[in-house]
Structure 1
């Protein structure tokens, strides 16, 4: 594992990256990780690190990047825009493909990172493979949930009445708003709200792969109607889909830092199954927490 700063093209500043070399005699693929939105990113750091190590141990080269204004990268959160984040991710994909022994490219998104992964995939010369973990229904849903944090706080001190409308109006006028310690800019909110999981058509001679994973606190159940319909649209667009529900906590929003071992193993198993076309249920879980 190696940490370094990537000089951002066009936007200036640096982006913190963590690079995991693929282990073993064969590099199976290259993976770019796109983190969740705002505080969910911090809650997910441990799981992202454990997942990246497991992927590297299975033969995948992994690059984690802190986007503009996030983590230890340049800028403040309020400086970020959706387009700037897309540009950061596209540059990170180019960096990966410039490494020795390039291999099939995967973009791994977690929560809002799934929406970003789809937008990034549209900007690349050829569609990458996608690993989407707990993808939200839409960017509009993510934004609404984030704005509700401010409204919930306002309810406690009596200032919540009409607050949602005020936030919406401020953003529509190009102003930034403060929510839960984050300054949300109008360009970021606009881009996030417009993001969606609409499938990307693939050329007839290209077999693009999609792994879709979700966590459930209890036994896996039927997919939600939105998830089932979205998955079917991706299949119809020519994507080879592996979808699985796994047991585990919603670690991106829990009070304490949580782990979901079943997700770590399920993600690696899904990648291997898509690479070989074989059933990887016999995949031996790695020792993640050593």
Structure 2
């Protein structure tokens, strides 16, 4: 029988940018560690909710405190997705990490899924976490953005109102236009951060641990390997890095976020 533990504690974390919805899974018995979960992008977040909750309960049952955090404009957190920015999401992560460390008494690690893994790497480049757990990491933020923009191109083609190509949508973003894509408003401040996110630029973590055999084939494996070689300690010691590659699937066709 699996270990029993207390139900998750829901609450809103007050930040300078608004309230962020959180679920805290307290550890069963003595606390052995702490993890902050950073969810994927757009509809992938919704599709991964149950999996993240199941895994968080499993971690908690083995003595690891887990905080599931909804970033700005996502899930039940305050703000509109159309107003979200890459920098704002990083600030949310820092606020969540600080709260978790105060509550658990442990130096927190970062657990990122898909685009959340790139956010975790960038957060780790400024303040090294206890560990990095990267699930099916996106290895190129610009390619991930391109896949998302293609949803808009495909939807426009089906409706006979095509405005052109991904390049045309990028031009609109560069001009300051917020795009409506699959029920989500994508602002230039978020798109620019995604496009610039690459492990080789972000990973100042002194990474060690399981080889980074990333999803998507040899090119992605080499990209993460280069990031590991270039990494330098960011303070507080070298985190243990675990990468679960899985399958590098494109974002799901967009239902609206509930």
Counterpart among 204, 222, 233 of residue 229 in structure 1: 222
SS of 1:169's equivalent in the other structure is: helix
Indicate how the Cα distance of structure 1 residues 252 and 160 shifts in structure 2: closer, same or farther if over 3 A, else same. closer
Query: Residue 211 of structure 1: CA displacement?
Result: 8.2
Query: Residue 190 of structure 1: CA displacement?
Result: 0.5
Aligned equivalents of 1:163, 1:19: Cα separation in 2: 42
Q: Is the 8 A contact 1:131 1:210 kept in 2?
A: no
Post-superposition, which runs of at least 4 consecutive aligned residues in structure 1 deviate over 4 A?
207-215, 238-246, 248-252
- The aligned residue for residue 76 of structure 1 is 80
Aligned equivalents of 1:242, 1:41: Cα separation in 2: 21
SS of 2:103's equivalent in the other structure is: coil
Please give the per-residue CA displacement for 1:85-137, whole angstroms capped at 9, x wherever unaligned: 000001111111112432x421011111011111111232x344111111112
Aligned equivalents of 2:123, 2:21: Cα separation in 1: 19
- The aligned residue for residue 235 of structure 2 is none
Residue 18 (str. 1) matches residue 23 (str. 2): yes
Aligned equivalents of 1:98, 1:117: Cα separation in 2: 19
Q: Is the 8 A contact 1:121 1:128 kept in 2?
A: no
Output aligned runs, 1:77-92, within 5 Å.
Answer: 77-92=81-96
Residue 95 (str. 1) matches residue 99 (str. 2): yes
Query: Residue 154 of structure 1: CA displacement?
Result: 1.6
Aligned equivalents of 1:7, 1:68: Cα separation in 2: 12
Output aligned runs, 1:171-190, within 5 Å.
Answer: 171-190=173-192
Output aligned runs, 1:188-227, within 5 Å.
Answer: 188-198=190-200, 200-202=203-205, 224-227=217-220
Residue 118 (str. 1) matches residue 118 (str. 2): no
Counterpart among 37, 40, 43 of residue 36 in structure 1: 40
Indicate how the Cα distance of structure 1 residues 162 and 121 shifts in structure 2: closer, same or farther if over 3 A, else same. same
Indicate how the Cα distance of structure 1 residues 58 and 235 shifts in structure 2: closer, same or farther if over 3 A, else same. same
Aligned equivalents of 2:87, 2:48: Cα separation in 1: 23
Counterpart among 100, 107, 110 of residue 107 in structure 1: 110
Q: Is the 8 A contact 2:138 2:248 kept in 1?
A: no
Query: Residue 15 of structure 1: CA displacement?
Result: 0.2
Please give the per-residue CA displacement for 1:63-86, whole angstroms capped at 9, x wherever unaligned: 011100111111110010000000
SS of 1:98's equivalent in the other structure is: helix
Aligned equivalents of 1:174, 1:57: Cα separation in 2: 47
Query: Residue 214 of structure 1: CA displacement?
Result: 6.7
Q: How many residues align?
A: 240
Q: Is the 8 A contact 2:93 2:123 kept in 1?
A: yes
- The aligned residue for residue 56 of structure 1 is 60
Aligned equivalents of 2:117, 2:198: Cα separation in 1: 9
SS of 1:136's equivalent in the other structure is: coil
Relative contact order, higher structure (CA 8 A, sep 6+): 2
Please give the per-residue CA displacement for 1:234-266, whole angstroms capped at 9, x wherever unaligned: 5434765545566x89697499xxxxxxxxxxx
Indicate how the Cα distance of structure 1 residues 138 and 21 shifts in structure 2: closer, same or farther if over 3 A, else same. same
Query: Residue 162 of structure 1: CA displacement?
Result: 1.5
